[in-house]
Structure 1
């Protein structure tokens, strides 16, 4: 409902309605106070003059309210700058329409609220010259009303001019405040959009860097497996005297090595590789103890639990790609805990088997003064990209007093 009412068309309807109703109130108050107490005692000429004056007031006021939309065009205060509005098609006619609205106040009290709305609009959305022109027209209309239309007991010119400048000054201050507020909101929106674009670009860079890192890690591992295949195949070619059992064992090694190499190659083909620098892979779960010892020496309190088919004797059986991913997730969680919750204990759980996969959970208390964002940092974004490429899932949750990272990775047979 609120969004519907904010539409420029309905805002314009509300403005016109306000101008008309407030103008009618002013008309009744001003013209009503000028009516004689005994209408029968009024001469015919004076009655005719008052009737013409009331009819002209009403007619000119309705004309001013009808012309007001053309002077306010375009009406979208939130997105129209004065410079754009001044150069838009038909802007000169908007100025003419505004001057007509202000000029109507020379004979119409009903047009006074419409002219005040126009002055505020010109001060907030139009070039400065438009506001000055409308102010000059208001002064001229006030002089005509005081000395031509109703020349009974006119005010001194300097008093009349001072009154017009006071009214225009208040309207100008209101319009300037609205102009400043719109400029501030526009700059804040632009800064927010720029920040979102910058963060999106940074996220893409992190994802691309993580993809490249995975490809580099695969380089040596895949080369090693392909060299094993070549070595065993060469042995079968140049040793035709091998017994059947040796040939069977060698064929089994070839099959398993080729299958593993095919899985890793499929992962490599899903990422881009920019160069061949730094192809040494990250350590895997076998180096997890060294990581915990290093962090413990730095003051970290880490509680590690392995469950299911995953224990210290079977971590070497986890596929290399999955093992490195779990190591990187653990490393990132410890880094985040050391950075955002120093001195707090970190609880890490890894449970899994060859059928259900491996579930990873890391939890650490969260200090209120250093609350992390629910979506995590850029390091976790890179890990999420890595996990998704392996067919897994990673979720980060920030609750009252705790920060939790949960991941699931497949454990291929």
Structure 2
């Protein structure tokens, strides 16, 4: 992976790639860097003032006189270099490491650099710097001994300050890692939620398209039936020709509308909040479906034995409508002229039974109207999803029979 592809971030945790160009400081970064710079500069002023005051009670032990100017210069350079700590924290720590042998005024700046490395770079690098500072405290004490403090006490103070810096840095490091982890988890959860919504949208569109396919196949079969009647009866009375032409025109118009809806569903843009129009037939629409087939010349007999038709659940009623629609479409395709019997029976608790039967055509099924061959597959899927059963084929009397049972729970 190219390191330049890593997003700029002012705080790079261990394991992150360093970006090819320096990240820009945010206003908060400028404020923090400014405060740390002023704090380190204040320590330079205090330590240098103590060094030149030579107060026997309060002055720091400065060693040889030539160290006063060298120490001041080292402190100022280390403090000014703090502005580079975000981009090159390890390099800055290595460059200022020799100052730990003798400098008092650079102490605050050196602790800030160690803190930065501990927070933003691999932990082993930061701990190595801490160990270096602990080891160099021995030469420091030898060069600048404190008569009022024994060696072990000076070492204890050094270890204490380094321990405070390490503990604070590890706390900040852990908190930043936790925040980044929670942010990443939230982003993943949001992406997964969006993916689930997209999948649900695609599944819904596919379901609507399948329903519209059933409707469209029904319309096209009506068109074919009427067109065939006009083809075989060219001498029909003008009234019958006009009526058939009117049915063809109305069916073609409706088929075009259905086709537009299917195309609109399949071409719907991602993220669109508009709900596509869809057919929502119920069991109460079966008589209109039968009347439409009768107008097309199909002889249909209906036996309705449903005890509470008004109480049929919408989903069950819609499935029953689609089963009847598929049965009538198949009868028109494969057994033209045959009498089709539609039987509906059942009630709450017993389930809803749907049966469409027609005599087997003489000479085998007709294939004048082409089909996709997936109508019964779609009906089987619909019945299975509803928790019902489906059967189809020739019965003992030789008739073709399409039967389905759909669960109908008793309403509480």
Q: What value does the CA root-mean-square deviation take over the aligned residues? A: 3.8
Aligned partners of 2:71 and 2:105 also within 8 Å: yes
Determine helix, strand or coil for the equivalent of 1:283.
coil
Q: Give 1:158's match in structure 2, choosing from 152, 157, 175.
A: 152
222-231 or 139-148: bigger deviation: 139-148
Query: Which has the higher relative contact order, 1 or 2, with Cα contacts under 8 A spaced 6 or more apart?
Result: 1
2:197 matched residue in structure 1: 203
- Tell me which residue corresponds to 1:143: 138
Which of the numbers 204, 221, 226 marks the counterpart of 2:220?
Answer: 226
C-alpha change, 1:67 and 1:34, in structure 2 (3 Å) is closer
**Are the equivalent residues in 1 in contact too, given 2:92–2:113 (CA < 8 A)?**
no
Shift of 1:114: 1.3
- Aligned pair 1:27/2:27, yes or no? no
Structure 2: stretches of 5+ with no match in the other structure:
1-8, 11-22, 56-61, 268-278, 286-307, 314-324, 326-412
Structure 2 residue 112 is the aligned partner of structure 1 residue 114: no
Q: How many residues align?
A: 258
Tell me which of 274, 280, 283 is aligned to 2:281.
Answer: 283
C-alpha contact 1:16 1:65 (8 A) present in aligned 2: no
> What is the aligned counterpart of 1:244 among 238, 244, 254?
238
For 1:101, the equivalent position in structure 2 comes to: 96
1:326 — aligned with what? none
Q: 1:14 to 1:291 in 2, by over 3 A?
A: farther
Cα deviation digits, residues 236-266 of structure 1 (max 9, x gap):
1222222223222221111111010011122
TM-aligned CA distance change 1:69 to 1:220, over 3 Å: same
Give the CA deviation at 1:184.
Answer: 0.9
Shift of 1:147: 2.2
Q: Is residue 116 of structure 2 the alignment partner of residue 129 of structure 1?
A: no
- SS of residue matched to 1:119: helix
Deviation at 1:175, TM superposition (A): 0.9
Structure 1: how far apart are the matches of 2:309 and 2:126?
Answer: 71
User: Does structure 1 retain, via aligned residues, the 8 Å contact 2:40–2:79?
Assistant: no
CA drift of 1:49 comes to: 5.5
**In the superposition, relative to structure 1, how do residues 62 and 10 fare at CA in structure 2: closer, same or farther (>3 Å)?**
farther
Higher percent of residues as helix: 1
The alpha-carbon distance between structure 1 residues 202 and 36, as it changes in their structure 2 partners (threshold 3 A), is closer
**1:86-123 Cα deviation digits (max 9, x unpaired):** xxxxxxxx535303334424433332221121222222
Give the Cα separation in 2 of the matches to 1:229 and 1:23: 90
8 Å CA contact 1:20, 1:110 repeated in 2: no
Pairwise mapping of residues 196-345 of structure 1 onto structure 2 (< 5 A)? 196-271=190-265, 283-284=281-282, 286=284, 293=311
After TM superposition, the score normalised by the length of structure 2 is 0.54
1:262-282 CA deviation, whole Å, 9 max, x = no partner?
111222234559xxxxxxx75
Whether the 8 Å CA contact 1:222–1:265 is kept in 2: the answer is: yes
Q: What per-residue deviation string (whole Å, max 9, x for no partner) do you get for residues 327-374 of structure 1?
A: xxxxxxxxxxxxxxxxxxxxxxxxxxxxxxxxxxxxxxxxxxxxxxxx
TM-score (norm 1): 0.53
**Greater Rg, structure 1 or structure 2?**
2
